[in-house]
Structure 1
């Protein structure tokens, strides 16, 4: 199976995109409204930030989860013992952010959140009636006025050769939220697990937008939409000297949103954060 990019401008875009999500948990969009140059500029400016020393003045707050997370506190994926080889910054509109980076990253946050609302509408419109009745409110409404939606700027540093055995840039995991929107990274490495257990390379043509289902949408849809396992593998050969930047926007519902008989968004998030060991 190959993940094909769906043309956002196509008259059948919504149908094709949601069908890809249904079959693989992932959808890839081309000709979408997020400019490539904006993404490229963000990658460059934040790589400069990660390569500097100022990042240490923005250390994360354990209670609010905003700010800079160094490699020493990187996540350990559920079921794994080794930390991922990465550092990252959590941007929320209400959180701390370097002044010189704020306007650019906030503009991206806003425009990508707008696109996410449209994609959530596509998902709802294309859901069969017996799936739609699981939604306690319109999917796009679940993120309205949410202060939980998170933009994570991820930096995978060049590999030095002294990494722990079996440690990789991002071990196999599922996302917690409703959907994740991710511009193609500056380097390849993202893979998704197919139904037969094999790993598929996600198309990394710069300018593509990658969208995947998270656990909360899986829960809210009665498991109709699969939260698919994915990972970022280490590069090989000369590519080990290259850093990798990526920019996932995790669309989180308001804490009060009811996902199912078993969970609110708040109870689900807290359970998963405890499992990850970050709270």
Structure 2
């Protein structure tokens, strides 16, 4: 078995597209270096994320939006659980979404952001990071399009004003002898198009291989871990795999400290219809092709499954 691809986004995309595509087909994951998100912005965001999560619980809960499905603001510890899981994940998080101008045609699908007054520079920093994630994601989608023999800009229209969400994530420290090896986020697949993850250098992220074994994902410092979501898996009829993954508590000292990360869930437009690409349809197995569905309907279906809607 070959390894998870680790590619530099500074190289010409036609030089890395097939290596990245091979990794997405085999593992559903790839590692991207030189992604263009400024390191000082990342460090500033990490510091402000820790500042927010250090606030008193009652203060954080003021930013929980009832009936919002966790799409914006704060989601408390122990709310979300993986599909079909018996227990809730050991995490709390904050969501930043797209800012749309008043009267925008898609505003019914995207609520306004909320911002904590207690953390100076929070809105400016995370608005900048959201834009930087989008730019990196657009370039990765160009590479995917090239791998699929599609026009290089194929995905641009599909994700324009998409319902992408950036998550600031904290797994609180665990105590006791059960901490080492505990499951912080149960096995799951991502709902969206692709996920870009900052902060995976801390041991714990694992993916499930086609052989049924858990494989640790260990990127170099500062790199992005990128994985395929269910929407792109559906669009490509499984050619690019949305792979089951989980977060386990590492062994040793790291088992007893909090874990922080920042995933960016890049989404199609809410009104984009996910219909299998003709090039990914096996003419001898047409009955296996999933039915077309709008990305919004697919999202809501999956949010109900994970206790967020």
Q: Report if TM-score (shorter chain) is over 0.5.
A: yes
- The aligned residue for residue 57 of structure 1 is 62
Q: Which segments of 5 or more consecutive residues in structure 1 lack a partner in the other structure?
A: none
Unaligned runs of 5+ in 2: 100-111, 276-290
Aligned partner (choices 82, 90, 96) of residue 87 of structure 2: 82
- SS of the equivalent of 2:183 reads coil
Matched with 1:276 is 306
Where do 1:1-279 residues align within 5 Å? 1=1, 2-11=3-12, 12-53=15-56, 54-63=59-68, 65-73=71-79, 75-92=80-97, 93=99, 94-99=112-117, 100=120, 101-128=122-149, 138-146=154-162, 148-161=163-176, 168-185=183-200, 187-260=202-275, 261-279=291-309
RMSD: 2.3
How far off its partner does 1:214 sit? 0.2
Q: Separation in 2 of the partners of 1:46 and 1:275?
A: 27
Q: 1:189-248 deviations in whole A, cap 9, x for unaligned?
A: 111111111111112322111110000001111221110111100122322221111111
Q: Which stretches of structure 1, 4 residues or more, deviate above 6 A after TM superposition?
A: none
> TM-score of the superposition, structure 2-length normalised?
0.81
In the alignment of these two chains, the number of paired residues is 271
The answer to whether the 8 Å contact 1:82/1:167 transfers is no
Deviation sequence 1:79-107 (CA, Å, 0-9, x none) = 21011110000111331022520100110
Please report how far the alpha carbon of residue 24 of structure 1 lies from its aligned counterpart in structure 2 after TM superposition: 1.0
Deviation of 1:62 (Å): 2.2
- Contact 1:188/1:204 (8 A) holds in 2: no
The Cα offsets for residues 62-90 of structure 1, whole Å up to 9 and x where unpaired, read as 236211111132x1111210111100001
